[in-house]
Chains A and B, each alone.
Chain A
Amino acid sequence: EIVLTQSPATLSLSPGERATLSCRASQSIGFYLAWYQQKPGQAPRLLISDVANRATGIPARFSGSGSGTDFTLTISSLEPEDFAVYYCQHLNNWPPSFTFGPGTKVDI
């Protein structure tokens, strides 16, 4: 079973700063990694699929990178609406599984 670890647990930054969030897998997962954003009282929102592909409507300040076991979500310049919790997710084709990391909270 693949385990995802996210760091840091909390990232305290100011608007305009760059945010770098890490997701590490317990074994190589290739490119089967997605990122989600969740704000209080809301459902998660898909940001990134397949490590680096922005979902429809996601601003260009969000970018994903990495491969194998180490992945990064970068927010180039934080906007006030970006302060939220971010989850990475591994998707396994067979048997199907959808493992989430524990999340990183980006706060002011």
Chain B
Amino acid sequence: VQLVESGGDVIQPGGSLRLSCAASGITFNDYTTHWVRQVPGRGLEWVSLISWNGGITYYADSVKGRFTISRDNSENSVYLQMNNMTTEDTAFYYCAKGMDTSMVTPLAYWGQGTLVIVSS
């Protein structure tokens, strides 16, 4: 199982960015996919999830209304559209999948992360 994030960049406050997560080695559309972020040197914060078919999405309060998660199972990919970004969104963003096909399950598979820096 391999998850590869991309799209991290330096962005100005108020700007937008889209992250991608490409999966291989797994029946991608069986699994809920998550985004988890981590400010460098700090702890982990769950950001969002999307169900296997995209029908259910959830967000942390800190990003609700600004971030949108989506998926394209034909491309084995999940995306995180981040709008109206602030300096508090600066972090490594990890894509992750659960240990089974349940929506709420520990995260057994992680990508290597992509760094987003919000700075003027």
Contact = CB atoms under 8 A, between A and B. Distances in A.
A103 B45 CA distance: 12
Determine the interface band of chain B, counting residues with CB < 8 A from chain A.
Answer: 20 to 34
Interface residues of A, number: 26
A59 interface: no
Given A43-B94, A43-B112, A92 B104 contact: yes
A100 interface: yes
A54 to B, nearest CB: 12
Contacts of A45: 110
Interface of A: 34, 36, 38, 42-46, 49-50, 55-56, 87, 89, 91-93, 95-103
B110 A55 contact: no
A53 B85 CA distance: 38
B26 interface: no
B47 to A, nearest CB: 9
